[in-house]
């Protein structure tokens, strides 16, 4: 039997995670381990303390160091030639009130980043990547999703772009861990995105035909990984609206638009 590719997807039951599951499942010689709070406890799948070599979705319980270590220890890495870890978790807070004031909540350490945002992205991503590398010496590709807006530093997303910058810096300083990939994307057309921005199609001129489909993003991710061997690579993926320009991300334009998206 040929060595299988292992794909680990955190947040597999979200729109993007589900699309990635469908994309990778359509290719031969691939095994997928999904992580979701909706799955059965990982102990339900263990045989002699190891996961079967079959696609499954499990819950690791509290997303803390010990449960994640137990999850990684349950993987029979000898059966796999390569491992791709896809971090589909994250908190993308809209840190603006109806008056247009920036409000960063739950920042107990005063670092300018919402503490839950830090945990869901930086803490968990680095923990998963490092823990997998400690057990698997082969080809490891950890993947993180960022936003097209990140490099423009919009004040309404301070926690998000600050934690993404911190995570990317960690990647660049740890090239021995794996071939890190960051996908900077635009808005994805999915129920969760519309729920968190309830008036985006009512109070603004946003066009849903220019939002990404999860299936298109998943296909782009799969195809992109077949190119290059650098330790750190960033990709941008979006549909460019003909009238779009970078002034969109300036706070004098971006903040009023976000207020219109969030508050009726």
Q: What residue ranges define each of the domains in the chain, with the CATH number in brackets?
A: 4-191+213-243 (3.40.50.720)
How far apart are the C-alpha atoms of 208 and 34, rounded to whole Å? Answer: 29
Tens of each residue's pLDDT in the chain, 264 residues: 556 999 999 999 999 999 999 999 999 999 999 999 999 999 999 999 999 999 999 999 888 999 999 999 999 999 999 999 999 999 999 999 999 898 999 999 999 999 999 999 999 999 999 999 999 999 999 999 999 999 899 999 999 999 999 999 999 999 999 999 999 999 999 999 999 999 999 999 999 999 999 999 999 999 998 766 789 999 999 998 877 777 788 888 899 999 999 997
How far apart are the C-alpha atoms of 19 and 22, rounded to whole Å? Answer: 5
How far apart are the C-alpha atoms of 37 and 64, rounded to whole Å? Answer: 13
Beta bridge partners of 211: none
What's the per-residue H, E or C state across 70-90? HHHHCCCHHHEEEEEEEECCC
Cα within 13 Å of Cα(196), Cβ side: 11
* Residue whose entry in the numeric block shows the structure tokens 């031969």: 28
Q: Are 9 and 88 contacting, i.e. CB atoms less than 8 angstroms apart? A: yes
How far apart are the C-alpha atoms of 91 and 191, rounded to whole Å? Answer: 16
Closest CA to 195 of 257, 149, 103, 262: 262
Q: Where are the beta strands (DSSP E) in 110-173?
A: 139-147
Lay out the sheet containing 139-147: strands in order across: 56-59, 30-41, 4-10, 80-87, 139-147, 180-185, 232-237
pTM comes to 0.95
Closest CA to 176 of 206, 118, 136, 216: 136
Beta bridge partners of 139: 82
Distances in Å between the Cα of 185 and the Cα atoms of 16, 27, 32, 199, 221 are: 11, 24, 23, 21, 11
């Amino acid at each position: 039997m040929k060595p299988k590719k292992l794909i680990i997807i955190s947040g597999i039951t979200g729109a993007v995670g589900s699309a990635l599951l469908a994309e990778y499942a359509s290719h031969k010689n691939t095994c997928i381990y999904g992580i979701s709070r909706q799955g059965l406890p990982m102990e339900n799948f263990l045989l002699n303390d190891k996961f079967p070599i079959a696609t499954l979705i499990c819950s690791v319980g509290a997303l803390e160091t010990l449960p994640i270590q137990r999850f990684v220890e349950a993987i029979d890495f000898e059966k796999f030639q390569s491992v791709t870890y896809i971090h589909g978790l994250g908190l993308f807070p809209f840190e603006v009130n109806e008056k247009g004031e920036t409000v960063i909540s739950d920042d107990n350490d005063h670092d300018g980043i919402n503490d839950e945002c830090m945990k869901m992205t930086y803490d968990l991503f680095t923990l998963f990547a490092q823990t997998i590398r400690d057990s698997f010496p082969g080809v490891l590709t950890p993947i993180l999703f960022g936003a097209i807006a990140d490099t423009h530093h919009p004040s309404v997303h301070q926690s998000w772009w600050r934690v993404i910058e911190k995570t990317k810096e960690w990647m660049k300083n740890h090239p021995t861990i794996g071939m890190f990939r960051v996908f900077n994307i635009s808005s994805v057309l999915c129920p969760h995105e519309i729920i968190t921005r309830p008036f985006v199609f009512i109070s603004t001129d946003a066009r849903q035909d220019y939002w990404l489909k999860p299936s298109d993003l998943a296909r782009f991710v799969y195809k992109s990984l077949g190119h290059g061997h650098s330790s750190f690579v960033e990709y941008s993926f979006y549909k460019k609206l003909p009238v779009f320009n970078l002034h969109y991300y300036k706070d004098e334009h971006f903040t009023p638009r976000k207020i219109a998206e969030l508050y009726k």
